[in-house]
Amino acid sequence: MPLRWSARDFPLTRCGCGQLGCIENYLSGRGFAWLYNHFYQQSLTSPEIVALWEQGDSNAREHVERYLDLLAVCLGNILTIVDPDLLVLGGGLSNFSAIADGLAHRLPRHLLPVARPPRIERARHGDAGGMRGAAFLHLTN
């Protein structure tokens, strides 16, 4: 799904699907770290950026705010079409509680005025959900 938001001058990068600027490249732990490197010329992992955020680092704080804005815009577009009652955040960044908390405050600005934002929950098994699902499939075959 292509990124259509340029208010913060996000760089476009080539996706594995061949398209340019797919949101999947940005809304992952790897994308979170890649964007940090782009804006601050410092190559850190997502957990390292989160640790800096927890210590009150100004670059990390600014980065999380920028990331949350991007996430809210992208999810707002999807949620306007799908209109679910529940949004489950998974993957490695779902372990970072500030993502779910910050998203809940930003999301309403990116929905239709009559829309109600869905309940936002972190995945029960965090970033291990995919592995658990694969193991379960193996057990059932």
What does the domain layout of the chain look like in residue ranges?
A: 23-137
Alpha-helical regions (H) of 12-114: 29-40, 46-54, 58-82, 97-106
Residue with tokens 């809940």: 104
Average pLDDT value for residue range 122-126: 79
CA distance 28 to 7: 20
Q: In the predicted model, is pLDDT for residue 130 greater than 80?
A: no
CATH number corresponding to 23-137? 3.30.420.40
3-state secondary structure of 16: coil
Q: What is the DSSP letter of 46?
A: H
Query: The pTM is what?
Result: 0.83
Given this model, what pLDDT does residue 4 score? 63
Q: What pLDDT digit, counting tens, does each position of 29-87 carry?
A: 899 999 999 999 999 999 999 999 999 999 999 999 999 999 998 899 889 889 899 99
Q: In the predicted model, is pLDDT for residue 27 greater than 60?
A: yes
Of 4, 34, 35, nearest in space to 21 by CA: 4
Given this model, what pLDDT does residue 5 score? 54
Q: Which residues of 35-68 are buried (b: 16+ CB within 10 A; e: fewer)?
A: bbeebeeeebebeebbebbeeeeeebeebbeebb
